[in-house]
């Protein structure tokens, strides 16, 4: 039987297909592991630094991470301290969520149409924009006494303060997005017979959508930031109210636990906005987050 021909001396053997597939799978797994592990490196480093700093300084004012973790467990399911804050996390989260999104959605409903009008119609811009620029530098905390006068003690004042914080990023980003639309798009669409409401729907909105979504994301972040200020208006429940109670009772572990919950809630809901952004802008990969 004839023997198989041997490759000439010095020839490079072709890579085995199974070996190449295995190498590709290993690279994919390594990349996935890196994407999963990398975001946790800085939080873990901060936790270690926090623990070491408290132990080395022997301060009694800042709790250890372990003590905050126990507070979070009691806050969620009870069984540790069994005090007034035990097992109340779902209630406080729900109250804060209703106020955050009450103010945020109100800001979006008012801010997006107003930004479209300011960006597209010069008369509206001349009338409204100077007043908005005058009010924008006023801190939201300065509105706290007036909000309680306008709306009384309770959730409506908190929703109003959240609305103010979310409104300005939304309206100004929407205005910028409209004004940044290339005028050649208007000329081309006009030549094709597009005008009036159709111009807004088919030209202005798609071109300004990345800026609008960016404004919504910024406003959403400010809404969660300002919930603590909003819940200083005398509301009994809410994450901001818990933080204020912790401050009054010198319960630093409760204060930090409330901060962690707010951070997690804001992060998770921001991921939802990122998915919406990428879905609506799938035609524009450079605007994906």
Tokens of 53: 């700093």
Q: For residue 238, count other CB atoms closer than 10 A to its CB.
A: 27
Q: For residue 280, count other CB atoms closer than 10 A to its CB.
A: 15
Q: Provide φ and ψ at 62, rounded to 5°.
A: -110, 125
Residue 169: the pLDDT is 95
Residue 217: the pLDDT is 94
Q: Where do runs of H (alpha helix) occur along the chain?
A: 17-57, 65-77, 89-120, 122-135, 144-151, 155-179, 183-191, 197-199, 205-225, 227-230, 239-248, 252-280
| Cβ(199)–Cβ(186) below 8 Å | yes
Q: How far is CA 154 from CA 49, 163, 206, 258, 263, in A?
A: 39, 15, 39, 20, 23
| Cβ(289)–Cβ(277) below 8 Å | yes
Task: Please give the average pLDDT of every successive group of 10 residues along the chain, which has 289 residues.
Answer: 54 58 68 81 93 92 93 92 91 95 96 92 93 92 90 89 95 93 75 71 82 94 92 87 92 94 94 91 75
pTM for the structure as a whole: 0.83
Q: Provide φ and ψ at 250, rounded to 5°.
A: 60, 35
Tokens of 146: 């007036």
| Cβ(274)–Cβ(216) below 8 Å | no
Residue 69: the pLDDT is 94
Angle subtended by helix axes 205-225 and 155-179, to nearest 10: 150
The span from the CA of 196 to the CA of 199, in Å, is 5
- Give 3-state DSSP helix, strand, coil % of the chain, rounded to 5: 75, 0, 25
Closest C-alpha to 245, from 128, 103, 85, 96: 85
Residue with tokens 């636990």: 257
Return the DSSP state at 137: T
Strand, coil or helix: what is 12? coil
| Cβ(126)–Cβ(165) below 8 Å | no
Tokens of 186: 């208007």
Q: For residue 268, count other CB atoms closer than 10 A to its CB.
A: 9
Task: Show Cβ contacts of residue 68 under 8 Å, excluding neighbours closer than 6 positions.
Answer: 253, 256, 257, 260
């Amino acid at each position: 039987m004839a023997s198989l021909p041997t490759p000439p001396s010095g020839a490079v053997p072709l890579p085995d297909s199974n070996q190449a597939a295995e190498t590709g799978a290993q690279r994919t797994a390594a990349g996935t592991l890196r994407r999963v592990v990398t975001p946790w490196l800085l939080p873990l480093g901060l936790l270690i630094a926090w623990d070491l700093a408290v132990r080395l300084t022997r301060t009694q004012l800042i709790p250890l991470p372990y003590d905050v973790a126990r507070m979070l467990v009691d806050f969620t399911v009870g069984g540790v301290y069994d005090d007034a804050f035990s097992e109340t996390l779902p209630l406080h989260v729900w109250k804060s969520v209703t106020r955050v999104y009450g103010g945020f959605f109100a800001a979006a409903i008012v801010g997006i149409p107003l930004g479209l009008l300011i960006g597209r119609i010069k008369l509206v811009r001349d009338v409204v924009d100077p007043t908005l620029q005058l009010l924008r530098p006023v801190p939201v905390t300065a509105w706290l006494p007036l909000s309680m006068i306008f709306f009384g003690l309770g959730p409506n004042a908190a929703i109003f303060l959240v609305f103010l914080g979310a409104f300005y990023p939304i309206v100004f980003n929407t205005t910028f997005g409209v004004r940044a639309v290339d005028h050649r798009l208007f000329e081309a669409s006009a030549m094709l017979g597009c005008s009036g409401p159709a111009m807004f729907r088919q030209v202005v909105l798609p071109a300004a959508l990345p800026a609008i979504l960016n404004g919504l994301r910024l406003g959403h972040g400010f809404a969660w930031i300002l919930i603590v200020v909003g819940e200083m208006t005398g509301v009994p429940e809410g994450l901001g109210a818990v933080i204020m109670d912790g401050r009054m009772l010198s319960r630093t572990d409760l204060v930090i636990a409330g901060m962690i919950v707010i951070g997690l809630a804001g992060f998770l809901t921001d991921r939802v906005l990122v998915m919406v952004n990428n879905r609506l802008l799938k035609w524009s990969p450079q605007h994906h987050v």
